[in-house]
Amino acid sequence: MRGVLIVGATSPLARYMAHEFARLGDTLFLAARDMDELQRVASDVQVRFGATVHTGRFDAAAVETHEAFWQEVLRVLGGLDGVVWVAGTMDGLEDAFREPQAVRRLIDVNFTGAASLLTLAACYFEERGKGFIAGVSSVAGDRGRAQNYPYGAAKGGLSLFLQGLRNRLSKRGVQVTTIKPGFIDTRMTWGRDKLPFLASPQRVAKESVQIILKGKDVAYVPAIWWLVMLVIRSIPEKVFKRMSI
């Protein structure tokens, strides 16, 4: 029985990832800011799978609280086998094009918070010599686009951070996986015009957990995004800046 920490657990993707781990019999620690929602998600996993589920409040942007949070998780679970980072937000993106505070907030939640907590996780697993870290980044982090680069930059930073962690920890038997989902049918995409390859959170969650457990390094979910991003990354900047992608 593994102990797995899922951060940002109130999102649909994280919720269904929790389902997948619980189905396998893992003990979970779910963390998020909205405690009422978190309790609902936790109860759901308990009722459906009879899993042991702990909860704790976690604010990605409040970096000064992360150490205490981490110790709490270790104390409650009595040791940890995996950490899954799902927290992220696109809220405030519009403001982030103009306001320094808004762009900082976006980067704090999506990048700084992740880097902070995963540093604690990295040290812990490095010392134990086993375990896994998985981070949900985004295809948005593969190339800066006019429409969402503040978000994309933070996700790009996260992808690079995870890449570095992977290279640091691989020698110590710790697996680091970067998940790069495309469009997921959630609040972030709701109300937007027809998006290509829109996938349900259930599907992305299921595939993501399989990828993590197989110990892959980097994976696009659904896999078609590997090809899409290969094309998008290979467009010369000169051309790209004139396109409206």
Chain contacts with other proteins (rule: CB under 8 A): 10-12, 34, 36-37, 40-41, 43-44, 47-48, 91, 186-187, 190-192
Q: Whose Cβ is closer to other proteins: residue 35's or residue 146's?
A: 35
The nearer residue to other proteins, 148 or 186, going by C-beta atoms, is: 186
Cβ 152 to other proteins shortest distance, Å: 18
Minimum CB–partner distance for residue 47 and other proteins (Å): 4
Instruction: Choose between 185 and 217: whose C-beta lies nearer to other proteins.
Output: 185
Instruction: Supply the minimum distance, in Å, between the C-beta of residue 48 and other proteins.
Output: 6
Q: Which is nearer to other proteins, 163 or 186 (CB)?
A: 186
Least spacing, CB of residue 11 vs other proteins, in Å: 8
| Strand residues in the chain grouped as ranges (E) | 3-7, 27-32, 53-57, 82-85, 132-136, 175-181, 218-221
| HEC string for the chain | CCEEEEECCCCHHHHHHHHHHHHCCCEEEEEECCHHHHHHHHHHHHHHHCCCEEEEECCCCCHHHHHHHHHHHHHHHCCCCEEEECCCCCCCHHHHCCCHHHHHHHHHHHHHHHHHHHHHHHHHHHHHCCCEEEEECCHHHCCCCCCCHHHHHHHHHHHHHHHHHHHHHHHHCCEEEEEEECCECCCCCCCCCCCCCCECHHHHHHHHHHHHHHCCCEEEECCHHHHHHHHHHHCCHHHHCCCCC
Alpha carbons 12 and 86: distance in angstroms, whole number: 10
CB nearer to other proteins: pick between 41 and 176: 41
Q: Shortest gap between Cβ of 205 and other proteins (angstroms)? A: 14
Residue nearer to other proteins on the CB measure, 65 or 189: 189
Tokens of 44: 């759901």
Residue 238 C-beta: closest distance to other proteins, Å? 33
Rank residues 168 and 187 by Cβ distance to other proteins and give the closer one. 187
Q: Is residue 12 reached through a cis peptide bond, with omega within 30 degrees of 0 on the bond before it?
A: no
**Least distance in angstroms from the C-beta of 55 to other proteins:** 13
